[in-house]
Amino acid sequence: MATQHQLYSSPETTHWGFFDGSLRPVLRVDSGDRVIFHCVSGEPDDMPEDSSRVLPELRDIHLRSEQGSGPHILTGPVWVDSAEKGDTLQVRILEVSLRQDWGWNLIMPGKGTLPEDFTRGRRLIVPLDQKAMVGRLPWGIDLPLKPFFGVMGVAPPANLGRVPSFAPGVHGGNMDNRELVAGTTLFLPVWNDGALFSVGDGHAVQGEGEVCLTAIETALSGTFELTVRKDLSIGFPRAETATHYMTMGMAPDLDDAAKQAVREMISLLGSLAGLSREDAYSFCSLALELRVTQLVDGNKGIHAMIAKQLLSG
């Protein structure tokens, strides 16, 4: 029978700014178990002036943990029993909820989609109305919230060593994919025994592209069901929503990311519908939705979506 676990963020249960297959797991679970991750987010400079609004475990991490080369505080890694290299970790995202009543948005000089246009930094603290589920922007707009985790990933291949948290890749990581909300299933290729799954980088809401560098960044809790798939072998992350199949592409060049997402979808359509590569390519040209995931994480992202109803009959 599946077990439900709770994992709280602390200096002992997080790694800050990197993925690494040599990390010791902070929790071991069976395939099919559920884990509720209570995550934190933010570097010291991102905090509001009123320190009482900052979660105590985040203050503790700032004081006692060593930061790697990325900004993300990741809760984990979690070892999933029976997971081996070549398997797929199926991550069902069951619930995502806010942990605090504030978030922040950052413009950083030299970063973002328009670094040549915005040479001065700015950090906004944004109040979050948890009852109305809106972010109250200072120019008078209430923005509906759609929380999701920007970073979900397994340990990267051993030959890559320690990988900075800011660049997504074959392990998942900082995908910043706004489609990965509660009700979505993410599929990650397993590169190490136990998979070593970690999560963080809570977003209250994000636009496609995440163009200024950040979303409304905040602390989230999330419930995930982690299942080892021995019957599925993939080389790159993909996902499934209630209505769509999704493949992803990530590369320094957006065109290359788009090519990868389309190639991944051609392969998926062959598996799902038995289409030849030529038929799948034509079908993609007629029915595929290509969306910009993000433009700001080193490896830019494109995700490709095919409506499930088109393959149902």
DSSP code, position 158: G
pLDDT digit string (tens) for 37-83? 999 999 999 999 999 999 999 999 999 999 999 999 999 999 999 99
Q: Provide the residue count of the chain.
A: 313
pLDDT digit string (tens) for 8-29? 999 999 999 999 999 999 999 9
pLDDT digit string (tens) for 269-310? 999 999 999 999 999 999 999 999 999 999 999 999 999 999
| 3 state SS of 267 | helix
pLDDT, average across residues 104-112: 96
Burial of 151 (0-12, 13-18, 19+ CB in 10 A): buried
Q: How far apart are CA 206 and CA 96, in angstroms?
A: 15
Confidence label for 312 from pLDDT (cuts 50, 70 and 90): confident
Q: How far apart are CA 44 and CA 41, in angstroms?
A: 10
DSSP code, position 15: E
Fold for the domain defined by 243-311 = Endonuclease I-creI (3.10.28)
- Beta-carbon neighbour count of residue 239 at 10 Å? 24
Q: Quick one: tokens of 116?
A: 């040549």
Predicted TM-score (pTM) of this structure = 0.97
Q: Quick one: tokens of 284?
A: 């993609």
> Residue 154 pLDDT > 90, yes or no?
yes
% pLDDT > 90, the chain? 99
Helices 277-287 and 254-273: crossing angle in degrees, nearest 10, is 120
List of residues 6+ apart from 53 with CB closer than 8 A: 100, 101, 102
CA angle 24, 82, 73 (to 5 degrees): 35
Which CATH architecture is the domain 4-229 placed in? Sandwich (2.60)
> Residue 225 pLDDT > 70, yes or no?
yes
pLDDT, average across residues 195-202: 98
Q: How far apart are CA 145 and CA 135, in angstroms?
A: 7
Query: Which segments of the chain belong to CATH 3.10.28.20?
Result: 243-311
Short-list 174, 186, 304, 306, CA closest to 238? 186
pLDDT digit string (tens) for 83-96? 999 999 999 999 99
Q: How far apart are CA 151 and CA 295, in angstroms?
A: 15
Query: Which segments of the chain belong to CATH 2.60.120.580?
Result: 4-229
| pLDDT given for residue 238 in this prediction | 98
Mean pLDDT of the chain: 97
Confidence label for 313 from pLDDT (cuts 50, 70 and 90): low
Distance between first and last Cα of the chain: 35
CA atoms within 13 A on the CB side of 56: 0
